[in-house]
Structure 1
Amino acid sequence: MPIITLTTDFGIKDHFVSAVKGAIYTELPDATIVDISHEISPFHITEAAYIIQNAYKSFPKGSIHIIGIDSELNPENKHIAVKLDDHYFICANNGLISLIASEFRPEKIVEINIHDAIGTNFPVLDVFVAVACHIARGGTLEVVGKSISDIKLIKGITPIVNVGDKQIVGSIIYIDNYGNLITNINRKLFEDVGKGRKFKITARSAVFDTIYERYSDAINFDIEKTKREEDGKKLAIFNSSGYLELAIYKSNPKTVGGASSLFGLYFRDTVSITFE
């Protein structure tokens, strides 16, 4: 039985997540359900895409991913089921899949058309669960929808390389639990454009000229602990997902603050890298 994952902006206070799980278990008592996250910022498609893109690859091929973000059905927000990288994704056609599919071309896309048979104002509970359980039982996508070739694209979040490869201009796409700032500039782009040149990263008033491999590489452990710069140390790193991240060493947004609050940077704010 394939694993079914859930990613939503429902939070955990209300009944929504439990209702979705209950509906799946009613259909598939032996199902394995994994929560990726239910703390996505409301209707935040880019945030959801970043989290799912970096989580789904750790699951077995054939896993089914229900995505409850901006999922209300309307003429401009149809529902789709997508086979991508040997995984299945069920969500609204709101641009989210275009972000997840940046590395892989979808193998099959269908526009879900079973709504008349179900009738609902809670599509994640009724429609998405029905489709997920159908796939889990070995059903094909063609049974639940009509094949389409295009999905909605989200534009304006790709880094820009200025003329002469002198500068990359990107933006903040995600702020993690530690207040660290993840940009849309990945290691490959940085290396392809930079070609080993010296650089300066600028994000509002924060400036960096070194990118570390690990957070602790920013700390000089040869200096006595009471004398070295440690707590509050700002740093840039390529994170485990390969994206440039601006961080504060051992930050805690609830006490000393994180990079977002300390640098005054938030979603979509600009980060530039200038090469010599």
Structure 2
Amino acid sequence: MAPLITLMTDFGLQDSYVAAMKGVVLGIMPEVRFVDITHLIPPQDIRWGSYVLKSCYADFPPGTIHLAVVDPGVGTHRRAIAIQAARQFFIGPDNGLFSYILEEEASAEARLLENRTLFRDTISSTFHGRDIFAPVAAHLAAGTPFDSLGPFVNPLVSSWVRPTIAASSLDGEVLGIDRFGNIVTNIQRKHVAEWGQESALEIFLENQKIPVFALTYADLFPGRPLALWGSSDHLEIAVSQGNAAAFYGARPGDRVRLMRQA
């Protein structure tokens, strides 16, 4: 079966950037199948990109190559890497974008992209997605061995991946806002289990208490706010048939606190 490459970027849909990356890949490996995860990651939003990738990579078959570019540091000294994990591959900037993959997959192996024979001849300082990441993904799809990409490297894992667990509280933050206005946090169900408190919780967004912990978005009447575990096992704050981000005025980085009920 033809190799599969996914693409996830913050490039949007109105410019030529995504097409250029696909063109480079097809010039090296014409048999590739593409899946566009999304190109609507908010510009430079590494946290949300990391979460989106984490939320869907396990749904893809072994051998999938994930080409992910949310790269505000393009052209600087930030490293370019490839990761092998969960029988899949991940290619992109070492800026925290793969933090959730590294958190989920303890056996992940990372390589620094240093084999310049796999790059385009001319490398733009502003478009490594086209000139480095896309050709490396294509060569990998064509059968280039993973260990030939470059030396071992310990990639960056960003501190926002895990909330802070204390005796009396669990402190996290808002990762981003989804298409429906749901507020997605970095607090996962497993973190609450580690904390040792899976029921009788009080949940606060900044200083606003979330009144109900529910099972589904429709457990409450329309317009009522609630918290629940989303499909990726992250704590979400929602409004039934409404927009929680607008309701609470929430923004990425806002503090979310879980406390034990008195």
Give, in angstroms, the shift of residue 115 of structure 1: 3.9
2:229 counterpart residue number:
238
1:274 and 2:256 aligned: no
1:211 counterpart residue number:
213
1:19 and 2:10 aligned: no
Alignment of 1:50-199 (within 5 A): 50-70=51-71, 72-75=74-77, 77-115=78-116, 118-121=121-124, 122-148=127-153, 150-163=154-167, 166-199=168-201
Q: Residues 237-261 of structure 1, C-alpha deviation per residue, up to 9 Å, x if partnerless?
A: 100001110001122xxxxxx2112
Give, in angstroms, the shift of residue 21 of structure 1: 1.4
Gaps of 5+ in 2: none
- Judge which range, 3-12 or 131-140, deviates more: 131-140
Distance between the aligned counterparts of 1:162 and 1:28, measured in 2?
50
Q: Residues 57-106 of structure 1, C-alpha deviation per residue, up to 9 Å, x if partnerless?
A: 1110110011111162322x111111011110111111222332111124
User: Secondary structure of the equivalent of 1:102?
Assistant: helix
Cα RMSD (Å): 1.9
Distance between the aligned counterparts of 2:68 and 2:176, measured in 1?
18
Gaps of 5+ in 1: 219-229, 252-257
Distance between the aligned counterparts of 1:154 and 1:137, measured in 2?
32
Give, in angstroms, the shift of residue 209 of structure 1: 4.5
How many residues in Structure 1 have an aligned counterpart in Structure 2?
A: 255
Distance between the aligned counterparts of 2:166 and 2:112, measured in 1?
38
Distance 1:236 1:69, change over 3 A: same
TM norm structure 1: 0.86
Counterpart code for 1:31: V
User: Secondary structure of the equivalent of 1:19?
Assistant: helix
Distance between the aligned counterparts of 1:189 and 1:120, measured in 2?
42
Q: Residues 126-169 of structure 1, C-alpha deviation per residue, up to 9 Å, x if partnerless?
A: 22121111111121123222222x11231245212223xx2211
Distance between the aligned counterparts of 1:269 and 1:64, measured in 2?
33
1:171·1:270 contact (CA, 8 Å) conserved in 2? yes
1:63·1:88 contact (CA, 8 Å) conserved in 2? yes
User: Secondary structure of the equivalent of 1:146?
Assistant: coil
Q: Residues 208-264 of structure 1, C-alpha deviation per residue, up to 9 Å, x if partnerless?
A: 35322211222xxxxxxxxxxx3312111100001110001122xxxxxx2112102
Counterpart code for 1:184: N
User: Secondary structure of the equivalent of 2:103?
Assistant: coil
Identical-residue share of aligned pairs (%): 29
2:181·2:246 contact (CA, 8 Å) conserved in 1? yes
TM norm structure 2: 0.90
Distance 1:197 1:177, change over 3 A: closer
User: Secondary structure of the equivalent of 1:142?
Assistant: helix
User: Secondary structure of the equivalent of 1:96?
Assistant: coil
Distance between the aligned counterparts of 1:45 and 1:15, measured in 2?
21
Counterpart code for 2:165: V
Distance 1:106 1:191, change over 3 A: closer
Distance between the aligned counterparts of 1:40 and 1:197, measured in 2?
33
2:25·2:134 contact (CA, 8 Å) conserved in 1? yes
Distance between the aligned counterparts of 2:151 and 2:206, measured in 1?
47
Distance 1:30 1:157, change over 3 A: closer
